[in-house]
Structure 1
Amino acid sequence: MEQQHETTPVWVQAWDPAEGSERVRALFADRFGAEPDGTWSAPGRVNLIGEHTDYNGGLCLPFALPHRTYVAVRRTDGDAVRLVSAQETSGVREVALSEVAPGTVSGWPAYVVGVAWALREAGHDVGGFDIAVDSCVPYGAGLSSSAALECAAAVAIDALYGLGLAGTAEQPDDAGRTALAEASIRAENEIAGASTGGMDQAVSLRARSGHALLLDCRDGSTRHVPFDLSAHDLALLVIDTKAEHALVDGQYAARRAACEEAASRLGIATLREIDLDGLGDALAALAHGTGPVGEGRDEVEVLVRRVRHVVTEIARVEEFVALLDDDRVEEVGAPMDASHASLRDDYEVSCRELDVAVEAAREAGALGARMTGGGFGGSAIALVRAGAVDEVAAAVAAAFAAEGLHAPAFLVATASAPAA
C-alpha cells in the first residue's frame, strides 16, 4: 500500500509563560518531592541573516522566539547536581560538579552542568542544585534549544547563588549577561563538545522584545534593531523540516576549521578582516597560495567557497539592517534569497528538505526564504504576507508530501523577551 504523507500543516505553539512555569514546577515537585526555589526560562532563537559568521568575527541578526525552555531549580548543599527532564524517561541524573571536565558528561545534562562548571572556572562561588526542565522549543530544529537550556540554567544559577550578573527583567545588566553568555558558550564548546559560535547564547540572554539583535561577533557589541513585521502586514514563518541536525557530528566543526585555515593562510585573525572590495584579491591569494604538500585543487576550491560565503554573508547582514533602518522591510527578501543560495552552494550546509521548504515557500508567494541555523537539517524561514501564512504553510506541507518527506511543522516567529 502506498504510504500517505500529511499535507495539513502542524503548528507548534509557544506556551504562555505562566503555563510553562507551572509545568516545570509540577515536574520538579513530582520528581524531587519538594518545591523549587523558583522558575526561570530562556528563549530559542531565529537568525534572520548572518549564518556561520559568528565564529568568523562577523555580524549576525537573530531575535528571540516566544518558544522557551523552562527550568525549576532548588539550591542544595554540596556540589551534586540532580537533573530531570520532561523530554526523557530515564529518571533523575546526578553529576558532581567537582568531577566535571571536558569529556566527562554526556547527553543533555552537559549543557546544564557545563554552565555551572564555567561559572566556577570564572571564579564564581557556585554549588549544587536540583533542576527540572521542560521546553516548547522544538528540539533538533536549528532553533537553539541547547542555548535556551544553557541560558535558562545560567539565569537560575545567577539568582540562586547571588552572582548579580543578570540584573532584573526591567533593567537587565548587559555586561553581566555577556558574562553569562560566555559561560554558556564554554559549556557548549568544552563540556557538551559542540563547536558553535556565540550568537545563540548572546541573543537568548541579551535580546529585547520587538527587536532583532545586531551582534558584532568581533567585539561583542550589539544594537537593538526594531523588528515589528505586523506593522507592515507581514509575518515570519518558520518551517521545521524535521530533518534533525546535530552540531557534534563533525560537519559544523569542519566548516569552522576551514575558515580558520583560510584566515591563517591569508595572515589575518578572522575572515571579518576581508570586505567586499578586497574579496577578489583574497580569493585569488587563496587560489594561488601554497598549501600542505599533496593538497589538491579541490581542497583549495573548498576554502575559496567558504571564504566567499562568509564575506558576502556579512555584507548581506549590513544590507538587511540598512533596509530595516530605512523602513523598507518588504525588500529584505532579496538578501534572504541570496543568503540561502550561498549557504547551499558555497558553504554546502543545506539539504534536500531545506531546499524544498525554501523553494515551495517562494513559489507560494513568500517575499524571501532561507535556511536558518547551522544547517544540515533544521529549519527554514520565509517572509510572507500576514494573510498568506496558512496558504504558504499548506503549500510547503504539500511539497514535502509530494517529495515523500516527513511532514514539517510550522510556527510564526515574533521578536520576544530574553532569559529571565
Structure 2
Amino acid sequence: MAIPTRVIASPARGVECVKKRAKRLHFTAFSRDAEQVATASGRVNLMGDHVDYAGGFVLPMALSLHTAVAASRADHDCAVSESSDDRAWTRYAFGVLAQLRDAGLSIPPLSLAVASDVPVGAGLSSSAALEVAVARVALAVVGAALEPRALALLCQRAEHIGAGVPCGIMDQWCVTHAQPHQSIMLDCARLTSTLITLPPTLVIDIVDSDERHALRDGGYAARRADVEAAARALRVPLLAQLPRARWHEIDALAPQLARRARHVVHESARVHEMCAALAANDLARVGALFFESHQSLRDDFDVSTHALDAIVERARSEGVLGARMTGGGFGGCVIIVRRA
C-alpha cells in the first residue's frame, strides 16, 4: 500500500510573502490596514522528543517556514486565519494576549490576521510559531518588547492556560532564540542553550505523513502524566535527571511507567551523543541515533503511527543514514538524514 507523503521544502518566496499575505488578509477581513506585522518560524526537533517537560536535553532546529500575524487596534479581540476552519487555534492566540495583559502590559483589544507556511499538526511547532508571532505583533503595537527568555516562558504559559496543552519549553524556546537553520542544544531544566553547528555534509529532509495530530486531544497530556508518575515513583523531581547509576531502578516500575521512563532517560542521553557525533562529523553514528530514537518513541512511548513507521522503514530500505518521527507524535512528520 502506498504511503501518502510529501517532502516539506522552504517556500521560495520566503518570509516577506507570508507577511504580505497576513497584511492582505487583515485588510480584507477588517477593512483597514494593519498597524504592525510580526513573524516567527517553525522548528523541527533533531533529537530529544518528549523529554523537555521531564527536564532533559533537546536538539531543535529553526526552519525557514514562517507564521505572520498582522494586527491593528480594535473594539474587541478578534482573529482570522487564511487556512483554518477550526477555531480552536484562537485559544492559542487569545491566550497569548491574556498572558501579556496579566503581565501588566497595556495591550489594547486587537484584530489579528494570520498567514502561515508552517503546516498545522505536523509536529513542526505551528502552535509555538503562532504564539510567538502574536506576542511580537501585540508588543509592537504598543512599542514594547520582551527578551527571548521571558517571551518563551510567557508563550508556554499561554499554551498551558489558554489551550490546555501541558507542553514543555522546547518549542517556544527554539522559536524565540534560533534563526532559521540554526540548531540549539537546550537544557530544559536550567534553561541554558548552546548553538550547535551542523556539518555541511549532512542533508536533512522533512517528510510529512499527512496524518494530523492535535495535542489538545489528550494523548500528549497522558504521556506527560506517565512521566511525572514515574518521577514520583523514582523519587526525583524531573525524570530526565535520574542518575545513570540508578537507571536499573526503572525495571521495578509498573510496565507502562517503566517504558515511559526508559525512553526519557535514553532519549535525553541521545542528545549528548548526537552533539558529539555532529562535532566529529560521524554521520554513521548520527543516523544510528535517529533509528534508535524512533524505535524508542514507537515501542516505549507509544506515540508513533503505522504511517510514520512505514516512512521510516522505507527510508531505511533506501539506504539513508537515519530516520525518525519528530515532534509530539500521533501523526506529523518524519525527519530523514542522509549524506550530501
Provide the residue aligned with 2:37 in structure 1: 39
By how many angstroms is 1:306 displaced? 0.6
Q: For 1:5-154, what aligned pairs fall within 5 Å after superposition? A: 12-14=9-11, 15-76=13-74, 80-88=76-84, 107-154=88-135
Query: C-alpha deviations, 1:18-69, integer Å up to 9, x for none?
Result: 2111111111111111111122111111000001000000000001111111
Tell me whether 1:270 sits opposite 2:238 in the alignment: yes
2:221 matched to which residue of 1?
A: 253
* Runs of 4+ off more than 4 Å: 4-13
User: Are the equivalent residues in 2 in contact too, given 1:195–1:247 (CA < 8 A)?
Assistant: no
Counterpart residue number, 1:189: 160
Per-residue deviation at 1:276? Answer: 2.8
* TM-score, length basis structure 1: 0.77
Paired with 2:82 and 2:312, the residues of 1 have a C-alpha distance of 32
Match status 1:198 vs 2:169: yes
In structure 2, do the counterparts of structure 1 residues 158 and 191 end up closer, same or farther at CA, with 3 Å as the change threshold?
same
Q: Deviations over 1:357-413 (max 9, x none)?
A: 101011112100000001111111100234xxxxxxxxxxxxxxxxxxxxxxxxxxx
SS in 1 for 2:337: strand
Shift of 1:6: 8.3
SS at match of 2:118: coil
Shift of 1:9: 5.1
Separation in 1 of the partners of 2:258 and 2:220? Answer: 17
Question: Which amino acid in 1 is paired with 2:236?
Answer: I
Q: What secondary structure does 1:108 align onto?
A: helix
Match of 2:302 among 342, 348, 355: 348
Deviations 1:183-217 (A, max 9, x none): 11111111111121111111111113442111111
Alignment partner of 1:331 out of 241, 262, 285:
285
Q: Give yes or no for the alignment of 1:318 onto 2:272.
A: yes
Q: Percent identity?
A: 41
Alpha carbons 2:19, 2:115 under 8 Å: kept: no
- Does structure 1 residue 178 correspond to structure 2 residue 149? yes
Matched position secondary structure for 1:354: helix
| Residues 349 and 219 of structure 1: CA distance in aligned 2, closer, same or farther (over 3 Å) | same
Say which SS state the counterpart of residue 88 (structure 2) adopts: coil
Give 1:324 shift. 1.7
Count of aligned pairs: 339
* TM-score, scaled relative to structure 2: 0.94
On the 8 A contact 2:159/2:166 being kept in 1, the answer is: yes
Q: Which amino acid in 1 is paired with 2:276? A: A
| Secondary structure at the counterpart of residue 254 of structure 1 | helix
2:139 is the counterpart of 1:158: yes
Aligned partners of 2:7 and 2:205 also within 8 Å:
no
CA 1:112 to 1:11, structure 2 compared with 1: closer, same or farther past 3 Å?
closer
Q: Is 1:365 matched up with 2:319?
A: yes
C-alpha offsets along residues 211-256 of structure 1, whole Å, 9 cap, x if unaligned? 21111110111111112x5x21x31111111111111121111110
SS of the residue aligned with 2:164? Answer: coil
**C-alpha displacement of 1:122:** 2.2
The separation in 2 between residues aligned to 1:192 and 1:178, in whole angstroms, is 21
CA spacing shift, 1:89–1:340, aligned 2, 3 Å:
closer
On the 8 A contact 1:362/1:369 being kept in 2, the answer is: yes
CA distance in 2, matches of 1:7, 1:87: 21
Q: In the superposition, relative to structure 1, how do residues 257 and 215 fare at CA in structure 2: closer, same or farther (>3 Å)?
A: same
- Equivalent residues of 1:208, 1:224 under 8 A apart: no
The alpha-carbon distance between structure 1 residues 256 and 136, as it changes in their structure 2 partners (threshold 3 A), is: same
Q: Secondary structure at the match of 1:117?
A: helix
Q: Aligned pair 1:218/2:218, yes or no?
A: no
Alpha-carbon distance in structure 2 between the residues aligned to 1:112 and 1:209: 23
- Rate the CA distance shift 1:10–1:320 in 2: closer, same or farther, 3 A: closer
The AA in structure 1 aligned to 2:223 is: R
Gaps of 5+ in 2: none
Aligned to 1:297: none
Pick which of 45-54 and 134-143 moved more.
134-143
Q: Give 1 or 2 for the bigger CA radius of gyration.
A: 1
1:149, 1:74 → 2: CA distance?
17
Inter-partner Cα distance in structure 2 for 1:309 and 1:10: 27
Q: Report deviation, 1:355.
A: 0.3
